Amino acid sequence: MAAGTEQVLTGQSALITGASRGIGRAVALRLAREGAQVALFARTVSDLEQVAQEVEAAGGRALVVPGDGRKEEDVVRAIQETIDKLGSLDILVINAGVGKYGPLESFSASDYDWIMETNMRSTFLFARHAVPYLKERRRGHLVVVASVAGRKGLPHEAVYCASKHAQVGFAQALDYELRPVGVKVTTIAPGGVNTHFALGTGRTPGDPKLAEMMDAEDVAEAVAFAVTQPEKARIIEVVMRPMSEPL
């Protein structure tokens, strides 16, 4: 944030899932720069603590709330800890996700469950347990980091596309449901992003194509743009593609 620029999110608290690295980490740092307190949710405590140190070194406040987004008890605890320890929950960024690429016959039922539960079950659980609080306050913002794979089918991504289509449809329905009570819902749909995502399950570490993809910070800018809109405006969907995309 440029010197002298107002911190738009001062006094607000954001809970970010998948915050231990990649897009989640970038979102946490970006929202903290806007003045938000950030609650960091993921499974790896050591990685979360590293991100928390980065936030605090930059002058922000971070809360580590480790857990598994597929487990309802972990989700409920994370939301309640955020409210209790940071004073409120104003922004929920549902970002945690996994992927695997390959022909359909290379997928097992366990692969399907892993992808759908991590991507969609966790989205449902976090929204389900945060929405009553947001509705009661008649304000707040729910951001779902989905993918362009949630807008069209892609080869060798059938199960991943299914999970992301589910997220997009879920968010679109919630936009209609929550808008009358003052709660905003935004879907961020990026294309290829150079992170740890799908390394070993479709992407190869060191692949030069990764360097041509967008950076996690690019997606974080889109999230910040969505959640800093004036009160009367909402961003329904942001679709992002890397400049390196073939014509």
Q: Which tens digit of pLDDT belongs to each residue from 109-126?
A: 999 999 999 999 999 999
Mean pLDDT over residues 63-70, rounded? Answer: 98
What was the pLDDT predicted at 19? 97
Mean pLDDT over residues 191-198, rounded? Answer: 78
| 160 has catalytic annotation | yes
- From the list 112, 133, 160, 176, the catalytic residue is 160
4 — pLDDT class (breaks 50, 70, 90): very low
What was the pLDDT predicted at 199? 61
**pTM for the whole structure:** 0.94
Mean pLDDT over residues 12-33, rounded? Answer: 97
What was the pLDDT predicted at 235? 97
Mean pLDDT over residues 94-105, rounded? Answer: 95
**Mean per-residue pLDDT of the chain:** 93
Name, in order, each residue with C-beta under 8 angstroms of 23's C-beta and a sequence gap of 6 or more. 95, 145, 190, 193, 195, 216, 219, 220
Q: Which tens digit of pLDDT belongs to each residue from 133-171?
A: 999 999 999 999 999 999 999 999 999 999 999 999 999
- The share of the chain scoring above pLDDT 90, in percent, equals 85
